[in-house]
Each structure stands twice: as structure tokens, then as C-alpha cells.
Amino acid sequence: MKLVVGVDSSTQSCKVEIREQEKGLLISTGVSPHEPTFPPKSEQDPNQWWQAFVLAFQKATANNSVDKNLIEAIAVTAQCHGMVTLDDELNIVRPAKLWNDTQSATQSNDLVEKYGRDYWINQVGSLIGPSFTLTKILWLKENEPENFKKVKKICLPHDFLTARLSDRLVTDRAGATCTGYYSIKDSRWTYEILDTIDSTKNWSDALPEILGPETIASKISEKVAKELGIRSSVVVGPGTGDQMASCMGLGTREGDFVFSIGTSAVIFTVSNKPVHDLTGIVNGMADSSGKYMPVMVSLNGTKITDWAAKIMDCSLEELGELALSAELDENSAVMAAFFDGERTPNLPYATGIIAGLNSMTDRKKFARCIFDGVLIPLVKNYNFLKNLVKKSDGRLIFTGGASRSKAYQQILADLLQKDIYIVDVEESSARGACVQATAIARGTTVSQIIEQWQPRVVKIVSPRKTRDLTDYFLKYDACSSWRGMDRNN
């Protein structure tokens, strides 16, 4: 039985999955936590990512059913957008700024104003915001000039871990579209944008080499093979971003839409052609199989319901039961859950707002407005995105930590007024990394492995009743558009 290893280095933890290659059956897992972050400043030490990976790998391979000699390939996925700064020896210059660090909001606005919205949408594929790596590079130059001078290499989180495994700094096309300095139109790094930040740096040497989705980065380094106790013939994949890996892991086909809710709340689909959204609220990314993957991201996911359960002194399950028992009517309150700012729409200084409280607002209605505060933006994003793609008649797949909650499942179906699908995938990003590792181990395409590994549908959740929610959504729009309590930048 031939094995592969998939690594998902997320904001919260590193997860390692070991799967067999034929059908993708899960053999073993291991998890190790990361230090928590607290936006708007959100940073982590990349060396700790590596330590967490080694520990998670050790946990996964401690299982007696795992024969390390059968491992043939490994691939890494990690949080998108982050900025990892390295010297010539690939040593860390400063802590990595993560995807949800919004300190570069000013730099983001300056770059959009300098080049114009059309440039970013047409050339890069996305109207950049503070999550994009480019804005963090400009922030570094303006705020930490001494550290900026030390930087010789810049990469994404998954690139860093792949480099530690392979001694080679590479990335993939999907990850590159998260940076802001990759042209989805011309399929190349746009060094000229970086030259306007600093014309003295050798940017062509500073950035990773872009590899195809099934291209082997390298064999694993001798040092790491010895540290992990695996064969030196194990090959390493190019890696990719976590949402792109999730797309693979869930078996997403063109026409499917994925609702992924964890720390963030994300909706994406797969398209054979690039999506150019002239409003700028859709990120036109590449996927990890050679296609395209339009994405819409909200910063505020399950942490909102975690917060509500804490202040209501109840369990998450009890909070969900309260929300499910609430009826939507003219007395329902609404919540804009912009606790740490927002990305879609681009509101980095926004704060959370609850509106419409009245004497009829009991614990049930309060709990319901909390869940809806997380879910309504995704439903609105879905309704917007489905009109931009050619095919939108596939499954609506629900994944992420929230997908295990009966309340999240049912309320999402109720708000969409459509069936949603729960598939037999616990950790979609780690599973997607295994898909990539299997493709390079077997010398086939990612698309072929996605079809061979199609996950089983374990549950279909239907809306409880048919109803017109237009007025309720308009009430949400009125609440979320109020800027009276935004933070000062």
C-alpha cells in the first residue's frame, strides 16, 4: 500500500494526514497547535510552523498502521496571502504577517489609488486589499526600513514549509495569485510593481519559482528525511494555498459552490475561464489544477458564535438550539459581524453592529441574529458570484468547523432556500494536499485524482420552509452599511 502525506498549516494549527494512494483512504492524522493571533496585528514565527509540522508528523506516524517506508510523496498547503521574509540562507528576518493582518490597509489604499481599480482587476484578477502580500511588503518598507533592507527572499507560508522540506524555494500558480504581484492575465510575476516599491532589490531572485500543479519541486532533503525517519526518495509537491487545497479535497467540480466556515467565512467555485469582477469584491484566483477559482472571503466566522456562547454563558450546542427555535419576523434583530474589520466588503476598520433590538428580543432571537450575522454575508456573496460564472447548477457544499453544527447547517439552508451538501471530509485542505501529493507520486493530473477520490455525500440539508427573505436581507444591508463606529486607522 503506497502512502502520501498532506500537510495543512493553518492559522490555528498544523494538521498532517497520511492517505493511501488508490482511493485516498485516510490512514492516520496528527495535529499540533500554533500560537493564537489577534488582528489587526496578526503575526507568527514561521520556525514555529516547522516545529508544529514535525510534531504533527510524529503524531501521525506513531500509528502502528503507518509504515514510513511506504510514503512516496508529500505536499504542503497553508494560509494564503501571508508574507514570509527571508535572507539569502532562507533564515527568517521577522515574524510572518498573516492573511488576516490588516495593518497594511493604508498601503493597500495607496496602491489602489496609484494604479487604479481597473489595473488590479484586469491584470492581477483581484482588487487588492490589506490581506494581499504586496501591501505588506510596502508596509514593511515604510514601517521597518532596517528589516526591509535585510530581506532577500519573500514567499508565502506554504512556500516556506516546502523550502524547508526540499531546500528549494518554489510556489504554484494558485498561491501566486494571492500575492498581488502575479498577473493572472499574463501568467507571470509582475516585477515592475515591486520595482516601484524598491528598484534596488533583485526581485527576480527574491521570488519563488512558479511550478505547475503536478510538477515535483524536489526530492526531500537528506537532513529532513533523517529528521522525519522517511526515505530520501520521497518527492515534494509545489504546494498551494489552503482554500485551493480545500477545493481539491472536497472534489469540487465546475458548477459547485463551496461554503467554508472556520476562522474566516469563504465561498468559492471552479471556473474554466477567469472571472473579472469590475466591482472588485470577488478575488479572481487560480485553482490548483490549471483552472480558475473565484473567491469571496469574510474575516469573521465561527469566532462570532464562540463569542456569543461565552457572553451568554452557554455551550455552542445550546446557542444553536436557541437560534433554531427562533422565528424570523418584523421584530428580529440583525448583526453585522465585523468584529475584526471585514475583507468582503473591504472595511478594515469596521466593528460589529447589532441593530433592531427591542422588547421582543429574547435569548432565542439574539442567538439567531448571531448565526445570521456570520451566514448572511456568505449568502449575499453566493447570489452575487453565481451570476459571474458560466455554470452554477452544481452542489452547494458546506465544510469547515461550522459544518459540524446542526444550527449552522440548517440556518444556512434556510437562508439560501436551497439544499446544502455535507460530504465525508473532515479536513478538506489536508486532504487536498494529499491529492496533489498523489498526483506527483503517480505521474498523473490533479484533476484525475480529484475524480478518483470523489468524497461520499453524508447528508443533504433542506430548508425548513419556503419564504421570501427580501425584507430581512434589506434590514441587514441597512445595519452593515452604517459606518458610525468604525475604528480610527
For the annotated catalytic residues, the residue numbers are 242
Residue 111's contacts (CB-CB under 8 Å, 6 or more residues apart) are 128, 134, 135, 138, 180
What value does the CA radius of gyration of the chain take, rounded to a whole number of Å?
22
343: amino acid identity, one letter: R
Q: State the amino acid at position 84 in one-letter form.
A: V
Distance between CA 78 and CA 429 in Å, rounded?
A: 8
Answer yes or no: are the C-beta atoms of 98 and 42 closer than 8 Å: yes
- DSSP category for residue 288: S
Q: Residue 181, SS3? A: coil
List the beta bridge partners of residue 46.
none
Element (H, E) at 458: strand 457-461
Strand partners, 63: none
Euclidean distance between CA atoms 432 and 234, whole angstroms: 18
Residue 45's beta-bridge partner residues? none
Residue 182 DSSP one-character state: E
CB neighbour list of residue 310: distance below 8 Å, 6 or more residues apart: none
- Name 295's bridge partners: 268, 283
Q: Please name every residue paired with 183 in a beta bridge, in sequence order, or none if there are none.
A: 188
What are the two backbone dihedrals, phi and then psi, of residue 327, each rounded to the nearest 5 degrees?
A: -100, 140
Q: Where are the beta strands (DSSP E) in 22-168?
A: 26-33, 43-44, 71-78, 83-86, 92-97, 153-155
Amino acid at 385: L
